[in-house]
Amino acid sequence: MPTPSMEDYIEQIHNLMESKGYARVSDIAEALLVHPSSVTKMVQKLDKDGYLNYEKYRGFILTSKGEKLGERLVYRHELLENFLEVIGVDSDKIYEDVEGIEHHLSWNSIDRIGDLVQYFKADAKRIEDLRSIVESSAE
């Protein structure tokens, strides 16, 4: 099982590969607010654990195992953002909240949250009803 830190790196590498076609140590360090040496150490660990293939001075790519996990991690992140949006969390709090909770939920919980988001998004009236409840409880 990857640690939360490993998940953050895999998710970031996946996002960079999707958006730029490559992921550099400096890009990862900047995105995760860590030193490049920390990225290099983690990349070596992810290579050892089979999540990516790393060649010193040449770069790295995600393995199929890393790619599959990266896709799942991005799904989890986006799903939690959607969930918090649906339940009416202030948009300026959503990213920080997702970062705080995403590693603490089981995949079973993530799947049930996915079901709930689908339920609400299937009928806009459901979201309106939920927002009415939220607004009336805030008064």
* Residue 47 in tokens: 């290579």
Annotation-wise, does 99 bind a ligand? Answer: yes
d(CA 76, CA 64): 18
Annotation-wise, does 102 bind a ligand? Answer: yes
* Rounded to 5°, angle at Cα 9 from 39 and 22: 80
Specify burial of residue 23 (Cβ count, 10 A radius: 0-12, 13-18, 19+). Answer: buried
**3-class SS at 137?**
helix
d(CA 115, CA 109): 10
* Residue 3 in tokens: 């640690």
Q: Which of 78, 81, 73, 83 is nearest to 116 (CA)?
A: 83
Annotation-wise, does 11 bind a ligand? Answer: yes
Annotation-wise, does 35 bind a ligand? Answer: no
Binding site listing for Mn(2+): 8, 11, 77, 99, 102-103
Binding site listing: 8, 11, 77, 99, 102-103
